[in-house]
Structure 1
Amino acid sequence: MTRVIILVLITATALGSCKVNKPYQQPEVATPQQFRGATADTLSIADKQWKELYSDTKLSALIDSGIKNNYDLLIAVNRLDISRKRMRQAKLLQLPELNFSVAGQYSRPSDNSLNGISIKNFLKSNHVENYQALASLTWEADIWGKIRNQKEAALAEYMQSYEAVKAVQTQIVADIAHGYFNLLMLDKQLEISRNNLSLSDSFLLATQKLKDAGLVNLLAVQQAESQKQATSILIPQLQENIGIQENALKILTGALPDSVERIGVLKQMLRIDNISAGVPAALLSRRPDVRSAELSIVAANARLGVAKASMYPALNITAGGGLESFKASNWFNIPGSLFGLAAGTIAQPIFKRNQLKTNYEVAKLEREQAVLVFRQQVLLAVGEVSDALVQLEKLREQEVIAQAQVDTLKQAVSNSRKLFSSDLANYLEVLTAQGNALQAELSLASIQKGQLDAMIELYRALGGGWK
């Protein structure tokens, strides 16, 4: 028997060198030399930690709280812990299975049965006892790499969970920054509206005095009052949006809805010069969702190996030994009660062949699908970066024009009021100038916030935010 086991082990070792599955190789993906609208540069803002990019202390505190307490991130971390335990379990697959059992048996056959007569003649007893203590070891030889591929798939799935945590964090960092900058924009628009309301109020008083003097009619007063009311209604609308945005930010940080402290001013946040996007190929290693898509191929490739290995013969080796006796008094009589066994089996599936082949073909298609998803993810990532770069460039141009428009309209408001007081312009010209100036200032604040949004999206699209 020993020779048989040795022969089986030698056979297993020889067959173990056979590989039924190709090792993973990264698929070819088409990436440009540089992003559209950017110059090639090895440096990237995504290499910065989020604390370096978002220097506002109140914003940093919000992001830090979100990373610690956001429920989406906590759920992702919990999934990572589950995946880690599964990976550790998979590592044990290649170890032998060890079992220990203790058994006792008592049998009292009929005196007139063949067993009863035999026992009485040979053992001089009317019953049989048997006591056994057994330790057994079972091991499946990983000839075709099935267990190795199972471990590789488990590791890839664990790493996917890890990348998922990073992806959730990058999104949370971006969402909190978006929300905070939106608050700053709303604050600015509220300030603009209040200033414009003050102007509308003073113009209404001036128009009322002119009416009392008989210089303008009631319609002029009503038009001035209507513009004041139109400006007034903006204030509670903006305050409503501020309250909703504050609540959303607090929920993102895992806290109950409440007010949000802020110290920054929208204009001061526009420090986004000399932004470098790096090279597109770096997205493959930096962006968590792209890394996760690639790890999905690794896992699919390993599962393909498992499916193919399942179609080949499996070698199982069993060994055991212990103590056995017909009498309890002799149970631990060593070496008389010692026994041992060893066996090796090679099993080849026959009737499940079609099912196993189908599983293999499905696994091949799943790997092909994973490759397509990976390539699509890379393409989308490059597109997101390119979009953010275009937005940054064009929003800068828009800001220059919008700022010039604001300056022009502010001067127009001042001139129209002077002309109106000198009876060289009518009230409609003043109202038009004030209304246009209000809309231009609100639009400028929106454009400035849009630049910050584009910068946030560029940072996220490049894979920044998880460091």
Structure 2
Amino acid sequence: MNTMTLKRLVYITAVLVSLSACKVGKRYVQPELNLPESFRGDTLTYQQDTITFAQVSWRAFFNDPQLIALIDTALVNNYDMRTALKNIEIANRNLKQNKLEYLPSIDGNIATVNRQYRSRDFYGNPSSGWYGDKEAPDNLFNYQSQFATGLEFSWELDIWGRIAHQQDILKSDFLDSYEAKNAIQTRLIADVAKGYFNLIMLDAQIEVAKRNLQLNDSTLRMIRLQYDAGEITALAIQQTESQRLVAASLIPELEKEIALQENALNVLIGEMPNVVSRGFKIDSLMNTENSITLGAPLEIVRNRPDIKRAEYALVAANAEMNIQQIMRYPQLSLSGVFGVNAMLPKNWFNIPGALLGGIAGGITAPVFRNGRLKNAWEVAKIEREMTELELQKTVMEAVHEVSNAVITVEKQKEQIALARRRVENSELAVRNASLLFMSDYATYLEVITAQSNALSSELALVDIRQKQLEAYVDLYRALGGGWQEMTIE
């Protein structure tokens, strides 16, 4: 290869590389998501400078130190979280490797030895010069020898932007893995919080059951005194004892539920079964009284990991469609080799006699592939449309989820107010029934009924308070909260 030819090759290569900046395909544009102006059930007005519910850090959202410690442990030890972090590492490595695709691939041929043997019925004669002046044998003579060492390269010039589109796919995969981690984190925080709330609720219920059992014991003693005085029959003692056993049977059942819930929480935090430490102030577990709003529906597109993952999938599908389009275009590739090559081992590294060099370039274009390339492109376009529909579906479901959570929170406030009035009324009924019974103005059945109503109303209040806490957590997660670092000032 003379100097002029080399200069021309370098010039042509530079021109072709500059052409690789031409990126063929449809540029990604976020589709219309048809978001409403506000969430159904939201009575607050969103202002641009107001902190939204989803922007609050989970550390500021929860008040209980024991709960925060459990979440911290879960974020470090939970196996799903650890797996998600590994997926981020893999995606990051793939993305970094893609940047090297623009460079040629080079392979080093350390040593190649090729010896071919033929016999007398073969149509050729020894040609390697191995035998020199000696006469070659008739059978299994050395027909050809080759000893080579060198460098080989191949280079596909990305004229139409295939590698760039592939980078879009890998970048989407990386961002998707990051959002997958965020999605796992938000779900994990919600699950740990709900499990912790359930423990608090079970503690409160067992306290109610024990208190009611003491009340039943007191009533039973009073009934027995009246029986001994001959004022009532044995039936009264039996029915009162039955009511007492109902309250007593709740305690082992609740103790079992507490142990199972503690085990479930330990699974989430990645630890073996053990007792879970917890506080007992059910009214101060979360920050829900701050001046925060739900925000505009557009905020969930920016906050919710599942929506962002759906959009990254659409970006990747768009890039894949462009790649399938590029596969129908001509492809340019360069290849070459440089090294030493000789027929005899003694001449293997004889410079310059054994020097070998070569370069080749080619432009290939598909002419007839039985319609496979066009079909792959058309299928990729349809798959992109399906992915866009999936994004719009995810957004719609997210808006519904927020609306359901808002309505649940508001209606449960009303239920709590009614449940508290019911507890107050049932406690008053128990006191009045006991007083009237001692004054012979009420029967023992009325006392038992009042105590039964008091037990059920107190348990119902504890249950609805737990559901209210869970509703706030569901709302927080529905809005995309749980992974942000912004805190309430």
Which of the five TM-score ranges fits, normalised by the shorter chain?
over 0.9
Deviation at 1:441, TM superposition (A): 0.8
Equivalent pair of 1:56/1:264 in contact (CA under 8 Å): no
Q: 1:421/1:343 Cα in 2 relative to 1: closer, same or farther (>3 Å)?
A: same
Is residue 211 of structure 2 the alignment partner of residue 195 of structure 1? yes
Q: Report the counterpart of residue 103 of structure 1 in structure 2.
A: 112
Deviation at 1:37, TM superposition (A): 2.2
Q: 1:59/1:108 Cα in 2 relative to 1: closer, same or farther (>3 Å)?
A: closer
Structure 1: distance between partners of 2:119 and 2:220: 119
Q: Cα deviations across residues 331-374 of structure 1 (Å, max 9, x unaligned)?
A: 43444433321211011123425112221122111111111111
Q: Report the counterpart of residue 28 of structure 2 in structure 1.
A: 24
Structure 2: distance between partners of 1:328 and 1:418: 117
Structure 2: distance between partners of 1:456 and 1:112: 87
Q: Report the counterpart of residue 87 of structure 2 in structure 1.
A: 79
- Secondary structure of residue in 2 paired with 1:324: strand
Q: 1:111/1:421 Cα in 2 relative to 1: closer, same or farther (>3 Å)?
A: closer
Instruction: Tell which deviates more after alignment, 349-358 or 301-310.
Output: 349-358
- Secondary structure of residue in 1 paired with 2:91: helix
Deviation at 1:66, TM superposition (A): 0.8
Instruction: Tell which deviates more after alignment, 128-137 or 235-244.
Output: 128-137
Equivalent pair of 1:5/1:343 in contact (CA under 8 Å): no
- Secondary structure of residue in 2 paired with 1:343: strand
Q: Report the counterpart of residue 392 of structure 1 in structure 2.
A: 409
- Secondary structure of residue in 2 paired with 1:443: helix
Structure 1: distance between partners of 2:192 and 2:429: 38
Question: As a proportion of its length, which structure holds more helix?
Answer: 1
Q: Report the counterpart of residue 407 of structure 1 in structure 2.
A: 424
Is residue 86 of structure 2 the alignment partner of residue 70 of structure 1? no
Is residue 402 of structure 2 the alignment partner of residue 382 of structure 1? no
The residue type paired with residue 212 of structure 2 is N
Counterpart pick for 2:438 among 396, 417, 421: 421
Q: 1:224/1:119 Cα in 2 relative to 1: closer, same or farther (>3 Å)?
A: closer
Instruction: Tell which deviates more after alignment, 10-19 or 89-98.
Output: 10-19
Equivalent pair of 2:67/2:193 in contact (CA under 8 Å): yes
Structure 2: distance between partners of 1:189 and 1:351: 75
Is residue 314 of structure 2 the alignment partner of residue 294 of structure 1? no
Is residue 150 of structure 2 the alignment partner of residue 134 of structure 1? yes
Counterpart pick for 1:53 among 58, 61, 67: 61
Q: Cα deviations across residues 179-217 of structure 1 (Å, max 9, x unaligned)?
A: 001110111111111111111111111111112212222
Equivalent pair of 2:128/2:343 in contact (CA under 8 Å): no
Is residue 340 of structure 2 the alignment partner of residue 318 of structure 1? no
Identity %: 39
Q: Report the counterpart of residue 179 of structure 2 in structure 1.
A: 163
Q: Report the counterpart of residue 228 of structure 1 in structure 2.
A: 244
Structure 1 residues 428-467: aligned runs within 5 Å:
428-467=445-484
Structure 1: distance between partners of 2:86 and 2:245: 53
Structure 2: distance between partners of 1:57 and 1:10: 63
Deviation at 1:270, TM superposition (A): 6.0
Structure 2: distance between partners of 1:241 and 1:119: 87
Equivalent pair of 1:66/1:252 in contact (CA under 8 Å): yes
Is residue 258 of structure 2 the alignment partner of residue 242 of structure 1? yes
Deviation at 1:148, TM superposition (A): 1.4
The residue type paired with residue 412 of structure 1 is A
Counterpart pick for 1:37 among 12, 17, 41: 41
Give ranges in structure 1 of 5+ residues lacking alignment: none
Q: Report the counterpart of residue 217 of structure 1 in structure 2.
A: 233
Give the count of matched residue pairs.
466
Structure 2: distance between partners of 1:345 and 1:260: 69
Q: Report the counterpart of residue 139 of structure 2 in structure 1.
A: none
The CA RMSD over aligned residues, in Å, is 2.5
Q: Report the counterpart of residue 487 of structure 2 in structure 1.
A: none
Q: 1:434/1:270 Cα in 2 relative to 1: closer, same or farther (>3 Å)?
A: farther
Structure 1: distance between partners of 2:175 and 2:287: 36
Deviation at 1:415, TM superposition (A): 1.0
Structure 2: distance between partners of 1:297 and 1:190: 51
Deviation at 1:136, TM superposition (A): 1.9
Structure 1: distance between partners of 2:267 and 2:171: 33
The residue type paired with residue 403 of structure 2 is S
Instruction: Tell which deviates more after alignment, 280-289 or 123-132.
Output: 123-132
Instruction: Return the TM-score normalized by structure 1.
Output: 0.92
Structure 2: distance between partners of 1:119 and 1:386: 84
Equivalent pair of 1:8/1:344 in contact (CA under 8 Å): no
Instruction: Tell which deviates more after alignment, 313-322 or 344-353.
Output: 344-353
Instruction: Return the TM-score normalized by structure 2.
Output: 0.89
Instruction: Tell which deviates more after alignment, 212-221 or 103-112.
Output: 103-112
Q: 1:404/1:357 Cα in 2 relative to 1: closer, same or farther (>3 Å)?
A: same
The residue type paired with residue 29 of structure 2 is Q
- Secondary structure of residue in 2 paired with 1:25: coil
